[in-house]
Amino acid sequence: MLGIKSLSESRIVAWKVRNGMNILRICLGIIFIWFGVLKFFPGLSSAEEIAGRTILKLTFGTIKPAVSMPVLAVWECIIGLGLISRAWFRLTLILLYLQMAGTFLPLVFFPHETFNHSLLVPTLLGQYIIKNFVLISGGIVIGATLRGGKLRAFPSGEDKHEIRKMLGQD
């Protein structure tokens, strides 16, 4: 029975290795396109108001939400299309990292709106922002594939030796 379970688990892991990166890339792309498209239509995006105020504050009042929201919408759609198509992939990831860094600014600029009572109790808006750590992490994992990085289901003995060597365990 153990052999069958191990074989089944091995197949599942192998499937995840073959498909996981593409699934992650496409799902992130869909999220960026979806949230980007919403920003083209005033009043539809849950993040529109806070994003507009954040950009206004970041630019010392020079870029108004009427300008920043369409620009942000295009930016997010470009990220999404780049993730899905892999076109201009390095630039796409740079745009993703910059955009994601900006999403955390409301935590600093507007803490009274993003936290209740303490930094340990985020408001719903704060939670919406904090979940972006997952999007950033996905972008980092995808970025690891830029120069041929791959997931491996079962590293060979040689790979294990190299990993141990890099970690200083050999």
Single-letter code of the amino acid located at 128: Y
Q: In a 3-state reduction of DSSP, which class is residue 18?
A: helix
- Rounded CA gap, 68 and 49, in Å? 11
Q: What confidence tens digit (pLDDT) does each residue in 45-90 have?
A: 999 999 999 999 999 999 999 999 999 999 999 999 999 999 999 9
- Rounded CA gap, 63 and 60, in Å? 8
Query: Could you give phi then psi for residue 115, rounded to 5 degrees?
Result: -135, 145
* pLDDT > 90 in the chain, percent: 72
Nearest to 53 by CA among 133, 121, 108, 101: 108
- Rounded CA gap, 97 and 128, in Å? 17
Question: What mean pLDDT comes out for the span 121-126?
Answer: 95
Nearest to 155 by CA among 164, 146, 147: 164
Q: Is the Cα torsion angle 151, 155, 159, 165 positive or negative in sign?
A: positive
